[in-house]
C-alpha cells in the first residue's frame, strides 16, 4: 500500500474498515476537504448457506456494507457544507444481479448499490455526486485464483475500471458497468424477472460442480 502511495505522492494509512473509529481517524487525517471519496472495499467467497454462522454474516456485513456507511457518515457533512463532493462506491455486478454460490456477497453488494442510489436521490440536488461501480471479474488479488462464475464474460484489467470511473466522475454518471454485458442483463431482468431467474438457475447448473468444489 505504501508503495502505491509513494508513486502518486499520497499518504498510506492502515485502517480496519470494519471499525468506525478507524475510518473516522483515516478521514480526519486528511489535511484538506475531501472532494472525492472512493469507497473501494469488499471481500467474498463461496459458502454453504446452511452452515453460515452469525459471525460470518457480521464479518461480511461489517466489511462490505458498514465500511461504506462509516465513510459517508464522516464525509457527507463537509461536502454538504460547501455544496460539492463526489462519492465513488465499488459495488459489483453481483449487486445488480446475484453472485451464484455466495449469499453474503450478493446481499451485501445489493445493499451497497441501494446505499449509493439512496444517497444520489437524497443529496444529488445538493451538489453531491455519486458513482456506483459494478464490474464483473477484474484482474486483482481477489481473483488471483480464478473468478469462477463472475468471469463468464472475461476478466478485465483494473485500468479499464479506473478509466470508466474517472469518466463517470467527470460526467456525474451514477451507474458504471465496465463489463457492457451487465446492462443487457439488468434490462432483461427488469423486462422478464421470472425468465431472468430461470436463466440464472440454468447458469448455476452449468457451474454447479465448480461451485460445490469451491464451497468444500
Q: 39 near 86, Cβ under 8 Å?
A: no
Query: Global pTM?
Result: 0.91
**pLDDT value at residue 58:** 97
**Average pLDDT, stretch 21-33?**
94
Could you tell me whether strands 128-133 and 85-90 are parallel, antiparallel, or unpaired per DSSP bridges? parallel
**Edge-to-edge strands of the sheet including 175-176?**
36-39, 85-90, 128-133, 175-176
Instruction: Quickly tell me which residue has 467527470 as its cell.
Output: 170
Categorize the per-residue pLDDT at 1 as very low, low, confident or very high, splitting at 50, 70 and 90: low
**pLDDT value at residue 146:** 63
Three cell numbers, residue 69: 456507511
Burial of 202 (0-12, 13-18, 19+ CB in 10 A): exposed
> Looking at the domain 2-215, which fold is it?
Rossmann fold (3.40.50)
**Average pLDDT, stretch 42-71?**
95
77: number of Cβ within 10 Å:
9
**Average pLDDT, stretch 106-126?**
98
N- to C-terminal Cα distance for the chain? 32
**pLDDT above 70 for 145:** no
Separation of alpha carbons 164 and 166, rounded Å: 6
pLDDT tens, 128-138? 999 999 999 88
Q: Identify which has the larger pLDDT, 3 or 128.
A: 128
Separation of alpha carbons 65 and 63, rounded Å: 6
pLDDT tens, 14-23? 999 999 999 9
Amino acid at each position: 500500500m505504501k508503495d502505491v502511495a509513494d508513486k502518486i505522492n499520497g499518504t498510506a494509512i492502515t485502517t480496519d474498515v470494519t471499525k468506525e473509529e478507524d475510518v473516522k481517524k483515516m478521514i480526519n487525517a486528511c489535511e484538506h476537504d475531501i472532494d472525492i471519496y472512493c469507497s473501494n472495499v469488499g471481500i467474498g467467497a463461496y459458502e454453504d448457506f446452511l452452515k453460515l454462522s452469525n459471525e460470518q454474516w457480521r464479518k461480511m456485513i461489517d466489511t462490505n456494507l458498514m465500511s461504506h456507511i462509516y465513510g459517508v457518515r464522516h464525509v457527507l457533512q463537509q461536502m454538504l457544507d460547501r455544496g460539492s463532493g463526489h462519492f465513488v462506491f465499488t459495488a459489483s455486478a453481483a449487486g445488480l444481479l446475484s453472485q451464484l454460490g455466495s449469499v453474503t456477497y450478493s446481499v451485501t453488494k445489493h445493499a451497497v448499490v441501494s446505499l449509493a442510489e439512496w444517497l444520489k436521490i437524497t443529496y444529488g440536488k445538493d451538489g453531491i455526486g455519486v458513482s456506483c461501480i459494478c464490474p464483473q471479474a477484474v484482474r486483482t488479488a481477489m481473483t488471483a485464483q480464478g473468478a469462477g462464475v463472475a468471469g463468464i464474460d472475461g476478466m478485465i484489467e483494473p485500468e479499464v475500471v479506473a478509466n470508466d470511473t474517472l469518466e463517470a466522475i467527470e460526467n456525474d454518471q451514477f451507474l458504471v458497468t465496465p463489463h457492457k454485458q451487465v446492462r443487457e442483463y439488468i434490462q432483461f431482468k427488469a423486462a422478464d424477472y421470472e425468465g431472468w431467474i430461470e436463466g440464472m438457475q440454468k447458469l448455476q447448473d452449468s457451474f454447479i460442480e465448480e461451485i460445490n468444489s469451491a464451497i468444500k
